[in-house]
Amino acid sequence: MRLSRATLSAVPGAIRAPRHRAAPSIGVVHFGPGAFHRAHQASYIDDLLDHDPRWGIAGVSLRSSGTVEALAAQDGLYTVAVRDAQPALRIIGAHQRFLGPQQAAETAALLADPGVRLVTTTVTEKGYCLAADGTLDLDHPDIAHDLRAAQPRSVIGWIVAGLAARRDAGAAPFLPMPCDNLAANGVKLKAALVAFARRRDPRLADWIDGEIAVPSTMVDSITPASDPQLLADVAETLGLADAAPVQRESFVQWVIEDIGGPALAALGQAGAILTDDVAAYERAKLRILNGAHSTLAYLGLLRGHATVFEAISDPALSTFVERMIAEDIVPTIDPVPGMDLPGYAASVLTRFHNPVIAHRLEQIAQDGSQKIPYRLGDTLAEALRRGRKPRHVVRAIAGWLAFVIERIRDDTGIIDPAATALAELVQGADVTTAADRILSSKNFYITDNYDDHFAIIDAVRLILDRRWDDILR
């Protein structure tokens, strides 16, 4: 049998599940119902629904229907498997509607519905259609389409359309809230909404600029991609088939800029951290956890590893990452109220050593052109501002370049929105020229300090020559 409302009573009693909960009303529209959203944000909403039925989620997929169809077939139920020293399973029942790319009219109706008070997004960094400087890329194909057409393709186009419908109806606007690891994500999302609206309707742009608040957020929980082993483990424990389970570590954190209002108050009751300084948490997480993750991904893949656990179990690579965090990253971060930075750094390394989580390096390595400027480039810039020379970070950035160059030259391919542009810069060039072209391109801004520019290129050559003793010392 398959997991569904009809079979929920067959789930073993020791597993937490929404057995006696009435169907909630929809209060949240979420774009991007992938694994991270379902393992992270939806678990907070599921807690909230235990005592407030107004926060059910409608999941909207803009690209493919696979996930929403699998969820719809199970009445929105799926399993979160916590993979840690104390493993656990939980059935989530927060999702009530499931909309794919072909259900645009239903998506538009939901965004116009005054009962929907929160519109959230996990569409990855590239899903916001931003240029390298963080502003809306008006030449992005999806944005160009949405400026011409009535039916949007991009999340920016959809949010603006929904806000326009609320304004035209005289209804209260919903609260847009990004949940992707993008520095100052609330600031950037609002600026993108205003810029898009400015091209369509200047009065709407002025209204969004003056009336719509977009809180910045920081989200954290290591969430590997689902795999056949997860499906098998869940089915064995539940006694039911689940086509859409997700897995994560036990650590979970959602930090939200406290701009007030009932939506944020409710999320605070469900365990989200409300603060006036999201940026401090964000810097710590992006630079320490995400910076180390990307470093392990690129250098680990180049050293033949497949997972984070394998990479962090490599003594030379583990020591390199530990020293990078302690010597290069933590000194660039000002104290964060309520956070012990060295303690947080130690906890990150402990999380990487979790043998139960098989977090694949190939997954982390995707979309590097969008991630490296924030995960490692910001640390490099801040270190230079403070008069420091972060040699480990320089070599970590070189790891990304070496990975890109090797994959393109070997015709292995990379998953990156800039894959074509990167290939054009690399093909037909020697290593030095290829690395220099990428670093000099306005589309991949990392540093304008030429000492570090040349140091990165030197490290690329050493990595591609497998001179690990010189790189990881």
Percent of the chain clearing pLDDT 70 (strictly above):
100
Mean per-residue pLDDT, 285-307: 96
Binning pLDDT at 50, 70 and 90, where does residue 422 land? very high
335-369 pLDDT, tens digit per residue, is: 887 788 999 999 999 999 999 888 999 999 999 99
Q: Residue 2's pLDDT is what?
A: 96
Element housing 208 (H / E): helix 202-211
Relative orientation angle of helices 391-409 and 291-302, to the nearest 10 degrees: 50
Average predicted confidence (pLDDT) for the chain: 94
Q: Is the pTM of this model over 0.85?
A: no
Q: Residue 167's pLDDT is what?
A: 97
Mean per-residue pLDDT, 139-152: 96
258-274 pLDDT, tens digit per residue, is: 999 999 999 999 999 99
Half-sphere exposure of 103 (CA within 13 A, CB side): 17
Q: Residue 183's pLDDT is what?
A: 83
Q: Indicate the SS3 state at residue 344.
A: helix
Domains, in order of start, for the chain: 8-275 (3.40.50.720), 279-471 (1.10.1040.10)
Distances (CA, A) of 104 to 99, 115, 127, 131, 194: 8, 18, 18, 26, 22
Q: What angle do CA 45, 49, 53 make, to 5 degrees?
A: 125
Minimum mean pLDDT among 53-62, 241-250, 252-261, 441-450: which range?
A: 441-450
Mean per-residue pLDDT, 31-47: 96
Q: Residue 449's pLDDT is what?
A: 80
Mean per-residue pLDDT, 111-127: 95
User: Measured between alpha carbons, how far is 428 from 443 in angstroms, rounded to an integer?
Assistant: 20
Q: Residue 445's pLDDT is what?
A: 78
Binning pLDDT at 50, 70 and 90, where does residue 309 land? very high
188-198 pLDDT, tens digit per residue, is: 999 999 999 99
